[in-house]
Each structure stands twice: as C-alpha cells, then as structure tokens.
Amino acid sequence: MRAGRLVLLSEVDDGGLAAAISRSLREVYGLDVEARMVRLEGAERFYNRGRGQYDAAGLISLVSPARDRLFLILTWRDIYVAGLNYVFGYAPGGVGIVSTSRLDQRLYTGEYDPHLYIERSVKEAVHEVGHLLGLSHCPDPLCVMHFSNSIEDTDRKSSRPCTRCMLKI
C-alpha cells in the first residue's frame, strides 16, 4: 500500500542532496515529499563513545511517528544498530534514517565525488522508504531493496525496486 506523504528531515546541508532524494522518492513511490532542514535535538544522548557512532534506533525515537505521513531522517552521523558494526540506514516503523557518513567516497579513496555521493544517498533513501512502505530485503542483488553489506553492494544495485518488489507495494 502506498503512503501519500513523506517528510524528509535533513541534517545534511549539502547543495542539492535533499532535492535529489525528494525527486527520486516522488518518481519511484509516487509520494508527496516535503523536505525540511533540521537539527536533531537530543541526539548526543544516543552517541556511543566506545564505538564513535550514534544508535540509529535512539535517533529515530526523537521523531514521533504519525498516521498520515512517513518520516525519513537524513543525517551526517555514523550510525549502528545492535548486532552490526554500522548501517547505511534503518527503518523499523513509520520513521526511518539514512546516514551519509559512509556514502562519501572520501572515506574510501580520499577524493570527493559529488555524483557518486548523491547516487548512493538516493539509493539508500529509496531502500529505507521501501521498508517504511512494507518491503523487506530482496534476494536480487540489482534491486534497491537488496541488503547492502558493503559500499560495493550499494554501488552495484539499481536506484529502484525490481518489478517483484514494486508489485508488493
């Protein structure tokens, strides 16, 4: 079932990123997307000093879900969930989160590639919103709903759900 509205709460002030994500979510899922720049108040209490990361579930808890819309947080913070070293995103309910921290090519090669950064961010946003719409992980490595265990997995997959996944929405 398609939800009508999604609010993109962005902590990332990166020229054009929120617009690119909003456009893709409209095209792929037919959502009415409203983008807002925010600062996640209270985020520091979910920082784990030992890991140098933020608890994704904790950050999500800072946003109250609503019946008439979905929320996606876009953050620069490196995030994790219990049992995993890191995640690119997490979406357990009506609120999801995408971290751009490990999507930046500078982490891997030292060189900034704005096109690749936006492409990766869009893929992860489309993936997490797919979860918010009820999709689970897909076995097709080219489907955006395939689990990304590494940045190479993200780079390999498409920015759209496969036909099988789209039929489930």
- The full set of domain ranges for the chain reads 5-166
pLDDT at 134: 96
Cβ atoms of 3 and 70 within 8 Å: the answer is yes
Give the closest residue to 3 by CA, choosing from 23, 29, 22, 27: 29
Q: Mean pLDDT, the chain, as a whole number?
A: 95
Indicate whether 3 pLDDT > 60: no
Residue 78 CA: distances (Å) to CA of 12, 20, 67, 88: 12, 21, 28, 8
How many other C-beta atoms lie within 10 A of the C-beta of residue 157? 22
Mean pLDDT of 45-57: 98
Check if 124 is active-site.
Answer: no
pLDDT at 13: 74
pLDDT at 1: 40
pTM over 0.85: yes
Cβ atoms of 5 and 61 within 8 Å: the answer is no
Cα–Cα distance for residue pair 113/102, rounded to 1 Å:
13
Indicate whether 61 pLDDT > 80: yes
Give the class (CATH, top level) of 5-166. Answer: alpha beta
pLDDT at 146: 98
Cβ atoms of 57 and 159 within 8 Å: the answer is no
Cα–Cα distance for residue pair 12/22, rounded to 1 Å:
14
Q: 8-17, 31-40, 121-130, 148-157: which has the minimum mean pLDDT?
A: 8-17
Q: Which pair of structure tokens corresponds to residue 113?
A: 């590639």
Mean pLDDT of 41-47: 97
**Which entry of 27, 44, 128, 152 is annotated as an active-site residue?**
128
Task: Indicate the pLDDT class of residue 157, thresholds 50, 70 and 90.
Answer: very high
DSSP notation for 61-119? TTS--BTTBEEEEEESS-EE-TTSS-BSEE-SSSEEEEE-TTTSTHHHHS---HHHHHH
Model confidence pLDDT, tens digit, residues 97-133: 999 999 999 999 999 999 999 999 999 999 999 999 9
Give the closest residue to 35 by CA, choosing from 19, 46, 15, 47: 19
